[in-house]
Every structure is written in structure tokens, then in C-alpha cells.
Amino acid sequence: MALTASELEKTYFSWLRDKYTFSDLSSDVVKIETPFLDSEFDDIVLYAQSLKSGKIVITDDGWTIDNLESMGISFSKRATTRRRLLDEISVSFGVDISFETKEISIHTTLNDFPEAKHRLLLAIMRANDLAFLAPANVKASFVDDVRDLLDENRILYTPSILIPSSQGLAVHFDFSIPVPDGNQKLLRTISYPNNLNNMKIANYDINLASRTRKAKYIVILNDIKKALTNKPVLDAMVEDSDYPFDIHSFTDVKKDPSILTNAA
């Protein structure tokens, strides 16, 4: 049986349309139920509201931070590390994070709504990763660990870049590593790889970005605190991907940093 990119694209977007639910809550507020899960394995829900300025604000209504706090994760002024990590998420994905209202939100226009909603969803999922970090004395996130590894091995890189796709979405990667042949290595880190949602989004983003940016795509899986329990499933997802990319555990990359070097 022949398999084409258009067939895979049609199947995926059909699934996406079926799984997303948009419902009117009022004349200017729309509830968006997504098929992606938070740290408690509940569906992530967003709200879009039209503003008098003509723009749209999309928000999680404070659910993400409130949910993390209910799990005992503090974001008080004394929790400087967690606040710093949220600030980095805010900058990386271009979203607003308020410690007063607890909302994670983004302002956009109707034309830019798809890209903005996608970036907000990625930011919320990255924030949910804080539930799986070490307790209050945590020193760094998984992105920090990968950055330290790059620095230790004197690997040149650009952190936190956005790649425009043919669908009009800006796809986020944690690092871009230049190589002599001109095609960079684009890295996506996954802090909690046993949650398959993260790999699904990485797979989707790589397929989108690959249509406009020729590169070597690499996904690094966090196995520092917890062993990978579904590596065969992850390998199968890579094999079924429309565009080839490599996955490596952080343990393997530490043993062989040449995977990430500036060599082609």
C-alpha cells in the first residue's frame, strides 16, 4: 500500500478537527477544549475573548498555575527558581504569565490566531513539566541541563528559536546548532517523555518545520530522574513520521556528545 504525505496530513488534520471542541460561552468568549493533557491528565482548556481594541486574548484562565500549586508547587516570591523557569517559558513562546491572576495568556489578531493558540498550548505544556521537576530545591530545568552539556563540550548554539512553517505557524525549538554544510541541527527537548503527548507535538512540529527548513532534527529525552518506559513506542512514532528525525536519551548524549557537535 502506497503512503503519501498528503494522506497523512489529511488524516492528522481530520483527527485534530474531531478532537478539538469550540463552543460559545457568550457573545465574545469561546471555550476551546483541546485533545492534549495537563499534568493531571485532564484535557487542556483554553478561552478566547474578543477585546474592544479588536484583538483577541487567549488564556488558560489561571488553571495551569493553580493546578500546579494544588500539587504543592509554590510560585511565591521566595520560589525564585520556579519563577525564573516560568519567565523563560514566557520569553521562549512569546506569552504573558501573571503571578497575580495566575493566567498564562497571549494577545493576537484573528489572522494570527492559529499560531498564537499553538504557541500558548506549547507554553502551557512546558509549564506543566514543572510538576515533574525535583522538589523545592530544584536548581535547573531539563533545558538548562542540555544547555550545560552544550557549553561543557564547547558546542556553538542559538537558544530558543522559532521556525516559520508553511501552515503559518511558528514552530519552537530549544536550540539551533550550526554545522559547516549550512544545515543546522534543530533540537527539541522533552522533559517528561513518558507522556506521549509531548512526542506527538514534537513529531507534528518537526513535520511542519521540515517543509520550510532543511535541517537535522533531534529530540532529546529526559531520563535523568526516571527511566524511559515506552522507548519502543517512541521509536515507532519516529519510524511512522513523515520526516525523519533522531531521538536520543540524555544519558546517551552525555556518553557521546558528538551527536550534538557542530560537525555535519
| pLDDT greater than 80 at residue 143 | yes
For residue 140, what pLDDT band results from cuts at 50, 70 and 90? low
| pLDDT greater than 50 at residue 139 | no
Task: Name which residue leads in pLDDT, 199 or 170.
Answer: 199
Q: Does domain 142-260 have CATH number 1.10.3720.10?
A: no
| pLDDT greater than 60 at residue 135 | no
Task: Name which residue leads in pLDDT, 138 or 153.
Answer: 153
| pLDDT greater than 50 at residue 79 | yes
How far the first Cα of the chain sits from its last, in Å, is: 35
For residue 74, what pLDDT band results from cuts at 50, 70 and 90? confident
| pLDDT greater than 70 at residue 6 | yes
User: What would the pLDDT profile of 25-58 be if each residue is shown by its tens digit?
Assistant: 988 999 999 988 777 778 899 999 999 898 999 9
Q: Which residues contact 109 (CB under 8 A, 6 or more apart)?
A: 54, 55, 56
Query: Mean of the per-residue pLDDT values for the chain?
Result: 84
Cβ atoms of 180 and 213 within 8 Å: the answer is no
Assessment of whether the complete model's pTM goes beyond 0.75: no
For residue 97, what pLDDT band results from cuts at 50, 70 and 90? very high
Residue 166: its pLDDT value, please?
A: 61
Q: Is 189 left (phi over 0), alpha (psi -120 to 50) or beta?
A: beta
Domain ranges of the chain: 5-132, 142-260
| pLDDT greater than 70 at residue 264 | no
